[in-house]
Chain A
């Protein structure tokens, strides 16, 4: 599918720039040009498509769908719909309250709240572009299971008394737009949204791919295996802890991580790191603090963190 892009990269780097095919500089620059174009095309195309789908599923519609489901399938639907809902920390609170105040159980709301940032289209596209389909699918599936299971556990713990700062019984107005939107507006929305995302992520993508290309060309194979190979028990927890504060750089982190994996970091460790970057973040913690007690936040972070580490260990154990 990306054959023309490779031909272009070859022509540009080996032809126009005159770099040798077998030189380090040549292969690094070629890698950089190819990946940058490939990732940009994927990002633009897929974000646009997802944005069109989104115009059919505004949060009020998602809320209606989840409300109609039984307790257990509610978790599955919440996690699934969380995937296509964009997550921004500034919208986390209104979304959270909008769910709780219309009677969606706390646990189901958490399934949504875990899936939404962790499995987002930018992370998935980058994983697909840099690691291939299999890894992106592993990532999405593990994230989905973590979201469902964390929500189920939180629901079982009956922690509703740990909510604060709002009145959960207050009735709220149900408004809905998007359902009768004409196609022209859907396209305008998708174009706007795609452009907006690309504008924000491109410096990270370029920097990430640049550093990745450098590592790809210049760092010796298996250089990192000594410290972060599959047999190092501390690699997964460490990767999770380091990942949490890196929220805003998810787009740049993936190309970097892809290069690190190539140099010997185990796959489970990589997945744990990625999930910690996207799924748990300090800004999210601070903003959610306005509607829940610290204890509930710690339970939430604890359960999701444990799920991430479990996934990391599991993949390190089974994928050789």
Chain B
């Protein structure tokens, strides 16, 4: 089970990344769970200073961007 976490306080780009990440995970066909982290103290605790950011199972993978579908898939697939 991969826990895909999108970090951001509800700006337009955060919602876009959330949708893109969910679409990528669905296409991969592996078990996953989406989580939206919009609590600012949790975001900073995880070390993120630019939103939106994406973490898989608590590990931050990138921030301040929305990668293309195939890159997202790769990131989600190799994450443990």
Contact = CB atoms under 8 A, between A and B. Distances in A.
A59 B65 contact: no
Interface in B1-58: 8-11, 13-14, 40-41, 43-51
Q: How large is the interface on A (under 10, 10 to 19, 20 to 34, 35 or more residues)?
A: 20 to 34
A170 interface: yes
Interface string A81-125: 000001011110111011001000000000000000000000000
A166 to B, nearest CB: 6
Contacts of B49: 59-60, 63, 91, 94-95, 98
B50 A94 contact: yes
A297 to B, nearest CB: 17
Contacts of B46: 173, 175
A175 B13 contact: no
Contacts of B14: 90
Interface residues of B, number: 26
A192 interface: yes
A174 interface: yes
The secondary-structure label for the interface of chain B is loop
A167 interface: yes
B47 A91 contact: no
B45 A173 contact: yes
A290 B45 CA distance: 17
A177 B62 contact: yes
Contact of B51 (A60, A90, A165, A290): A90
Contacts of B10: 90
Given A94-B48, A94-B50, A98-B48, 10 more contacts: A58-B50, A60-B47, A90-B14, A90-B51, A166-B40, A166-B44, A170-B45, A173-B45, A177-B62, A189-B65
